[in-house]
Amino acid sequence: MRTVRNPRQTQLFDPYEPMLTERTRQALLDDWPGVFRHVILELMPVEVLGGAFDPAIGRPTKELYSMAGLLVVKAFMDWTEEEAVSAYRFHLDLHYALNLDPKAQDLSVRTLERYARLFVEHDLAGQVMHQVTTTLVQECGLRIDQQRLDSTHVFSDMACFGRTRMMGVTVKRFLTQLKRHDRTAYDELDEALRQRYAPSVHKLFGGRGQDEESRRLQRQQVAEDMYALIRCFADHPEHAGRSTYKMLEQVFYEQCQVREEQITLVSKTGGDVVQNPSDPEATYDGHKGAGYQMQLSETCHRDNEVQLVTTAVPQTAVASDSAALPAVLDALEGDQLLPESLLADALYGGDDNVQEAAGRGVELVAPTKQGARQLEADPTAATHQKLSLDDFAIAEATETIQWCPADHTPHTSVFDPDRGKTTTTMPAQVCSPCPLLDRCPVRKVRGVYRLEHTAKQRRLAARRGEEQTDDFRDRYRTRGGIEGTNSGIKRRTGLGRLRVRGQPRVFTEMLLRLAGWNILRAAVCPTLRERVAERALAAFAGTLCRRFLAVIRQVALSQAMPQPIRPLSSPCRSFLSLASRRSRETSSF
């Protein structure tokens, strides 16, 4: 039976009033519990979560808003299941955030795991991230026209194995399952093979030599063992259908080749291969290692009181940043958070990405790879470089050259739509004596001065020229702030290394922690704090009336006394302001 308590329901009296002083209450409202209780809790996906329970039959569930909220808080506070259960039982700030009465609360780890499983099965983390982000952007009054983009690496809760150990662990997992389900088939295997994989994972191959030749022979032995097991059980459906056998096949054919019954190991497998059988979806990034990554975009307008993450796209580590922009733009467009300009590093700055962003009305501000290298080497070297297409006058509509850097008109300039190229010829009498010839891209071919270019080359040349300007450097300087955001998220929410593995659970944790980061950042926004205070006052009708009468009594007594009127406290002024506003709204009807 579902138990649901609407967070927006007005109560007669505040159950926390006898337990909180004015200072402690203000501390709750000014921190994440106040934001969560009065802004975020009502956004929890209770309808989907409640679909797993009968509406009227069975034992009552835990209050669904509080359970969904607990999973979000658990993620960005980086709690274990036991720590989350302990906080649910004893922490007053969590009780306030989850709209729980300040009395004895109880919860088991198994119950919490059940709700966490429902979050993963129904992919609710993406919905939470969307609702939290769009709501906070609106409540804080943030400008989203300027944003910045970057990716950050995330490690799952898996061991990082070398190639030989990873293959050996795959064999050991298969043999362990075979021994459990078919001891006869296990005992029929070669004794030497069984003994090689009998030690624990941490002691596997512990007695081998440390030199390169010993490691190569050990790796070859493991590859041959894998192939022998695959052939032995390929015709046994009861074993070939098991997950460990399928993993054995996948790892073998990713790491090895079979040619005329001769097994050789692949020299370079690439990053899109299994890194650990316990987390088969994790892939490898050559610079950052095995695991996953998250594409993040963040507001960066100077007028914003805080900057929030506007979208988060989880990926495996092998995914390239250069190919991630369309997915990021799709997510931003789906949330109606598309910016006017998006700052990114050179990995995102390909011409295809610039055109993709422009087609959606977004200006992608990112240096080209060549321009980024030039800026790193010598920002003042632009005046000594050779001339480029950007120095020619080119008509964009026809892609033809109008005149060269020396103000000479071409003899011919013709665009070939089939090849996508423009071929330009220059008069020999103006090019041969030209002082710019050594720096000019025009080349003499068979007595003819020619230049060929494409529209992409023209656009890249124009961007490289713009990158050398002070205006571009001043504009692009803001992009570096997202590096601090990445490190801050990892320090505060534990995003750098998660306690789960497997893509569905990893993606869920990543999205919930990003939603929690936005909650933590929004809690310091003055505009949002004012709204939280107003909603906290309006949540308890009886308390509001009683405090309002106390204020009126204080004002009356102060007017009757000859001494100066004592200034009203901040809560009293807030109550009077809210009561006055409600009176005007009521009288308007």
CATH number of residue 353's parent domain: 3.30.420
Q: Helix, strand or coil for residue 234?
A: coil
435: three-class secondary structure by DSSP:
coil
Which pLDDT belongs to residue 43?
A: 94
Residues 108 and 25 in one domain: yes
Tokens in use for 425? 């010829």
Q: Say how far apart CA 277 and CA 294 lie, in whole Å.
A: 22
CB of 85 closer than 8 Å to CB of 114: no
Could you tell me if residue 63 is inside a domain? yes
Contact 305, 327 (CB under 8 A): no
Cβ atoms of 93 and 33 closer than 8 Å: yes
Task: Collapse the DSSP code of 236 into the 3-class scheme (helix H, G, I; strand E, B; otherwise coil) and give the result.
Answer: coil
What is the per-residue pLDDT across 517-534, written as a single tens digit (0 to 9) for each? 999 999 999 999 999 988
pLDDT for 390: 84
For residue 372, being part of any structural domain is answered with yes
Residue 392 lies in a domain: yes
Please name which of 583, 562, 564, 535 lies closest in space to residue 139, comparing C-alpha atoms.
535
In a domain, 271, yes or no: no
Q: Which residues contact 517 (CB under 8 A, 6 or more apart)?
A: 76, 309, 488, 489, 492, 493
| One domain, residues 356 and 419 | no
Give the pLDDT confidence of 365-385 residue by residue, as tens digits: 999 886 555 545 555 544 456
If you count DSSP H runs as helices and E runs as strands, how many of each does the chain have, helices first? 25, 14
Distance of alpha carbon 552 from alpha carbon 565, whole angstroms:
13
Beta-carbon contacts of residue 499 (< 8 Å; ≥ 6 apart): 80, 157, 509
Supply the DSSP symbol for 235: T
Domain count, the chain: 5
Q: Is it the case that residue 295 has pLDDT exceeding 70?
A: yes
Single residue among 122, 144, 171 that ends a domain in this structure = 122
Q: How far is CA 359 from CA 57, 326, 355, 363, 557, in A?
A: 53, 11, 6, 9, 67
Written as six digits, the tokens of 554 are 């204080």
Under the banding of pLDDT at 50, 70 and 90, the label for residue 40 is very high
Asked if residue 485 and residue 361 are part of one domain, the reply reads yes
Q: What is the pLDDT of residue 104?
A: 82
Per-residue H/E/C for 515-572: HHHHHHHHCCCHHHHHHHHHHHHHCEHHHHHHHHHHHHHHHHHHHHCCCCCCCCCHHH
Q: Given the DSSP bridges, would you call strands 341-343 and 363-365 parallel, antiparallel or unpaired?
A: parallel
Handedness of CA 154, 333, 300, 286 (dihedral sign): positive
Query: Are residue 371 and residue 395 in the same domain, yes or no?
Result: no
pLDDT higher than 60, residue 348: yes
Are 250 and 272 in contact by the 8 Å Cβ rule? The answer is no
Q: How far apart are CA 205 and CA 484, in angstroms?
A: 42
Q: Does a structural domain hold residue 571?
A: yes
108 and 8 fall within a common domain: yes
- Residue 198 within any structural domain of the chain: yes
- State the pTM of this model: 0.85
pLDDT top residue among 202 and 490: 490
225 and 350 inside one domain: no
Give the residue ranges of DSSP H helices in 309-384: 325-334, 351-359, 369-377
Compute the average pLDDT of residues 561-581: 53
C-beta separation of 307 from 146 below 8 A: no
Whether residues 306 and 358 share a domain: the answer is yes
Q: What is the sign of the dihedral through the CA atoms of 143, 145, 150 and 156?
A: positive
In the three-class reduction of DSSP (H, G, I as helix; E, B as strand; rest coil), residue 421 is classed as: strand
Q: Using alpha carbons, list the distances in angstroms from residue 564 to 358, 549, 569.
A: 65, 21, 15
Least reliable range by pLDDT among 138-152, 349-363, 378-392: 378-392
Indicate if 318 and 414 belong to the same structural domain. Answer: no
- Is 168 within the bounds of a domain? yes
573-588 in b/e form (b: 16+ CB < 10 A) is ebbbebbeeeeeeeee
User: Contact, 265 vs 275, CB < 8 A?
Assistant: no
504 inside domain: no
Domain that holds residue 406: 387-455
From 230, 265, 300, the end of a domain falls on 265
Shared domain for 324 and 392, answered yes or no, is: no
Residue partners of 484: CB distance under 8 A and separation at least 6:
none
Residue 267: exposed, middle, or buried by beta-carbon count in 10 A (0-12, 13-18, 19+)?
exposed
Backbone phi and psi for residue 284, each to the nearest 5 degrees, phi listed first: -125, 135
Same domain, 436 and 363: no
- pLDDT tens digit sequence for 438-495: 889 898 888 888 998 988 888 888 888 888 888 899 999 999 999 999 999 999 999 9
Per residue in 88-115, pLDDT (tens digit) is 999 999 999 999 988 888 999 999 999 9
Residues 205 and 261 in one domain: yes
Q: In this structure, are strands 341-343 and 448-454 parallel, antiparallel, or unpaired?
A: unpaired
The reported pLDDT for the residue numbered 549 is 55
Task: Let me know: does 37 contact 7? Beta carbons within 8 Å.
Answer: yes
Distance from C-alpha of 271 to C-alpha of 281, rounded to nearest angstrom:
11
Verify that 393 and 375 share a domain, yes or no.
Answer: no
| Both structure tokens of 526 | 């003055």
Where among 122, 148, 178 does a domain terminate? 122
